[in-house]
């Protein structure tokens, strides 16, 4: 019945106003008196309260704390912990596969990714709450989607829209999704993938290497080593990428002309390089400048000399990131069978755990209201409390 029952430990705070009430020192009233000779000089006042006074005020103060603690416990008195939720409420996380294979033509025409997006929009419209996520790797996005769904106080469903190539996702990946979250797999049928186009002889190399005269041979050796490790040899004509080695004569000039990245493809390449293997550790800096005819060029400033193993790793990482060629796995034609996909699916549970209840909809807000009302009462009581006065007025003079 309480979403945060540990908050009840806060009831111990009720001891605070009681202790303050007992220990607080209050100012002594000053009373003119004819003579002090019969007042016991040795009984200096213990001016702490020895007993409870203003019990009503104390009770109200304790009530304020109790109400606040009850509010923090987030009571939920309207529904029992595992009561069914309305069948009409549905939270849906829609993962759209945005990998290279989804650029293939769909059976229905147009790119498979566009068809997936249209499907996702329809799915979103059918949910009470929805979150649409495009991901190049569905498996990597599963955790975030499941975490979002776990917070939704209604039936939850995870939808994957993909061409479901072999290896896109495995049954084990889906087992990591909590059992009370439904799983729906929506395949987008695409035509057979096209084979990559042969290298365009006129296209620029994947990476331009800017090295000093003394290390030109080393730079070429590093490129060959990178290609031997599977780095593509060609790049995209509209994306110029250069690696500037430390001994390049104009390195200082290029650094001086450095400007921030601003093209999306630059961020893609930089992201791929810096999140790849160890290549990013060989980088000294990132910059770009306008090339010929207004063409933008991404320049990666290497911290290691051309011809070293590090330079080869950097060239390989950058070339892979800049290449238009897909990952060979994206070219696979085989897809996961529909029967398998159906077997992996499961409906959304009609029962949600307490932890998924919406804290904004708990009855705690009523307790906050009660705490505020008690605070107002406490302030009124404090002001209405009569100022302590002597039990009898003392004449301000002695008889004689």
Partner 1 sequence: VLGQIARLEPRGAWELDAAITRGADRLKRRGVLLVVSDFYDATDATFRELRRVARRGHDVALLQVLSAPEIDFPYEASVEFEDLESGERRVIDASATAREYRARVGSFLTRCRSEAHRDGHDYALMRTDSAPERALRAYLIRRAGAADPTAPRGSP
Please report, as ranges, the residues that interact with partner 1 according to CB under 8 A: 26-41, 43-47, 388, 390-400
CB of 49 to partner 1, least distance (A): 8
* Cα atoms found within 13 Å of the Cα of residue 351, Cβ hemisphere only: 6
Distances from the Cα of 89 to the Cαs of 79, 107, 230, 348, in angstroms? 15, 33, 50, 11
- Could you tell me if 183 and 213 are in contact, meaning their C-beta atoms sit under 8 angstroms apart? no
- C-alpha–C-alpha distance, residues 94 and 91, integer Å: 10
Nearer to partner 1, 194 or 385 (CB): 385
> Is the distance from CB of 176 to CB of 147 less than 8 angstroms?
no
Question: CB 15 → partner 1: shortest distance, Å?
Answer: 23
Nearer to partner 1, 49 or 79 (CB): 49
- The residues, any chain, with a CB within 8 Å of residue 381's CB and separated by 6 or more, are 56, 57, 60
Which residue from 184, 275, 195, 279 is spatially nearest to 229, judged by alpha carbons? 279
Of 395, 349, 359, 376, residue with least CA distance to 155: 349
Structure tokens at 36: 């002090």
Q: In Å, how far from its chain's centre is CA 265?
A: 24
SS3 readout for 155-177: EEEEEEEECCECCCCCHHHHHCC
Q: How far is the CB of 384 from partner 1 (least distance, A)?
A: 19
Q: Which is nearer to partner 1, 195 or 392 (CB)?
A: 392
**CB 48, min distance to partner 1, A:** 9
Under DSSP, the state recorded for 109 is S
Using DSSP, state whether 336 is helix, strand or coil: coil
Strand-pairing partners, residue 2, are: 75
CB of 47 to partner 1, least distance (A): 4
Shortest Å distance, C-beta 54 to partner 1? 12
Task: Pick between residue 167 and residue 390 the one whose CB is nearest to partner 1.
Answer: 390
Name the residue nearer to partner 1 (CB basis): 237 or 390: 390
Closest distance between partner 1 and the C-beta of residue 370, in Å?
A: 33
Pick the closer one to partner 1 by CB: 383 or 398: 398
Residue among 20 and 87 whose Cβ is closer to partner 1: 20
Least Å from the CB of residue 56 to partner 1: 18
Residue 6 or residue 38: which is nearer to partner 1 going by CB?
Answer: 38
Instruction: Identify whether the C-beta of residue 107 lies closer than 8 Å to the C-beta of residue 119.
Output: no
DSSP 8-state secondary structure symbol assigned to residue 353 = -
């Amino acid at each position: 019945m309480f979403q945060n029952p540990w908050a009840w430990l806060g009831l111990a705070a009720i001891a605070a106003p009681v202790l303050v009430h007992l220990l607080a020192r209050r100012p002594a009233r000053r009373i003119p008196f004819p003579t002090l000779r019969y007042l016991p000089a040795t009984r200096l006042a213990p001016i702490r309260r020895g007993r409870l006074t203003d019990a009503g005020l104390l009770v109200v103060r304790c009530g304020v704390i109790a109400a606040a603690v009850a509010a923090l416990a987030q009571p939920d008195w309207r529904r029992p912990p595992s009561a069914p939720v309305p069948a009409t409420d549905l939270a849906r996380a829609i993962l759209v596969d945005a990998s290279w294979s989804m650029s293939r033509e769909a059976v229905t025409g147009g790119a498979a990714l566009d068809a997936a997006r249209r499907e996702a929009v329809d799915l979103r419209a059918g949910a009470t709450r929805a979150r649409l996520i495009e991901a190049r790797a569905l498996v990597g996005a599963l955790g975030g989607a499941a975490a979002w769904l776990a917070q939704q106080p209604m039936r939850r469903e995870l939808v994957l829209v993909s061409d479901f190539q072999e290896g896109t996702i495995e049954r084990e990946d889906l087992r990591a999704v909590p059992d009370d979250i439904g799983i729906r797999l929506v395949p987008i049928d695409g035509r057979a993938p096209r084979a990559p186009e042969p290298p365009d002889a006129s296209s620029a190399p994947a990476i331009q290497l800017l090295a000093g005269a003394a290390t030109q041979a080393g730079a070429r050796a590093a490129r060959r080593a990178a290609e031997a490790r599977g780095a593509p040899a060609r790049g995209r004509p509209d994306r110029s990428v250069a690696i500037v080695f430390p001994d390049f004569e104009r390195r200082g000039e290029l650094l001086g002309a450095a400007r921030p990245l601003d093209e999306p493809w630059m961020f893609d390449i930089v992201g791929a390089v810096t999140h790849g293997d160890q290549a990013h550790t060989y980088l000294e800096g990132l910059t770009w400048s306008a090339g010929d005819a207004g063409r933008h060029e991404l320049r990666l400033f290497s911290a290691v000399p051309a011809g070293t193993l590090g330079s080869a790793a950097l060239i390989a990482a950058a070339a892979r990131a800049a290449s238009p060629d897909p990952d060979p796995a994206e070219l696979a034609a085989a897809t996961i069978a529909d029967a398998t996909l159906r077997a992996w699916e499961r409906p959304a549970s009609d029962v949600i755990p307490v932890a998924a209840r919406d804290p904004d909809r708990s009855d705690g807000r009523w307790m906050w209201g009660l705490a505020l009302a008690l605070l107002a009462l406490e302030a009124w009581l404090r002001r209405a409390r009569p100022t302590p006065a002597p039990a009898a007025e003392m004449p301000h003079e002695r008889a004689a």
